[in-house]
Amino acid sequence: MINLNTRLQAVASLISDNSYIIDVGCDHALLSIYLVQTKKNIKVIASDINDNPLEIARENIKKYKLEKKIQVLKQDGIKNLDKAVDTIVISGMGGILISKILSDRQDLKNIKKIIVSPNNDFPIVRKTLMKLGFTIKDEKIILDRGKAYLVLKSVPGKKNYHDYFFGTLSNKSLETIYYYTNLLNTNTNILKSMPKKYILKRLKLKFQNKKIKKFLLTSPK
């Protein structure tokens, strides 16, 4: 079986048997390969916008003799989508790009599950999912090789919270504390070097830092 890092294993753990998945921005296709090897009765499309990753994806798929089980597709986001696809996975991209990919496609009525793992700008992703008629069912922070990653699972449904910054991550687990402490440090460093003229961007980061400090200082639930 293919060796998958902890972050992608966490993404895979949110995908069910009996699904038809598109792995958008598949890059090396390691996640697609792992899914076919570990889930029952699934179909997978490994898609990417760029030729180089797709070439590597094809090589990896061939190495594991899965050419018949994984369809490789070159396309931008999910502009073309087989109507039978019911699960969208987008991981390892910026939150703004993930939101754009999802919003560019108006018709998501056949989609039963969207799993995303944004590298940044996660409040925008939460907001976009809700705007598109999805509710966030599960979210977790994964620690992988010293870095913290957010993974979200959403299903069709009504908006379930208003705080796009924390979502349902109000529990002060070790992972959550690590994630938000890192973000606080990153924001603080960005603010140090960001020219004063970027008033709105600076305000946004300061607002985030205020929320994180409050979260870190309040006693555990």
Ligand X SMILES: C[S@@+](CC[C@H](N)C(=O)[O-])C[C@H]1O[C@@H](n2cnc3c(N)ncnc32)[C@H](O)[C@@H]1O
The residue ranges that bind ligand X (CB under 6 A) are 8, 24-27, 48-50, 53, 76-77, 91-93, 97, 101
Decide: 78 and 22 in contact? Cβ < 8 Å. Answer: yes
Return the number of the residue (5 or 208) whose C-beta is nearest ligand X. 5
Return the number of the residue (93 or 183) whose C-beta is nearest ligand X. 93
Q: Rounded distance, CA 150 to CA 128, Å?
A: 16
Q: Rounded distance, CA 71 to CA 197, Å?
A: 48
CB of 79 to ligand X, least distance (A): 9
Return the number of the residue (12 or 183) whose C-beta is nearest ligand X. 12
Return the number of the residue (26 or 136) whose C-beta is nearest ligand X. 26
Q: Rounded distance, CA 27 to CA 99, Å?
A: 19
Q: What torsion, rounded to 10 degrees, do the Cα atoms 61, 47, 68, 40 define?
A: 90
CB of 171 to ligand X, least distance (A): 25
CB of 115 to ligand X, least distance (A): 11
In angstroms, how far is CA 107 from the centroid of its own chain?
20
Q: What torsion, rounded to 10 degrees, do the Cα atoms 197, 199, 203, 206 define?
A: 10
Instruction: Please measure the distance between the N-terminal and C-terminal CA atoms of the chain and give it in whole angstroms.
Output: 40
CB of 46 to ligand X, least distance (A): 9
CB of 172 to ligand X, least distance (A): 27
Decide: 120 and 53 in contact? Cβ < 8 Å. Answer: no
Q: Rounded distance, CA 45 to CA 41, Å?
A: 14
Return the number of the residue (76 or 86) whose C-beta is nearest ligand X. 76
Token pair of 210 as six digits? 């205020």
Return the number of the residue (53 or 95) whose C-beta is nearest ligand X. 53
CB of 119 to ligand X, least distance (A): 8
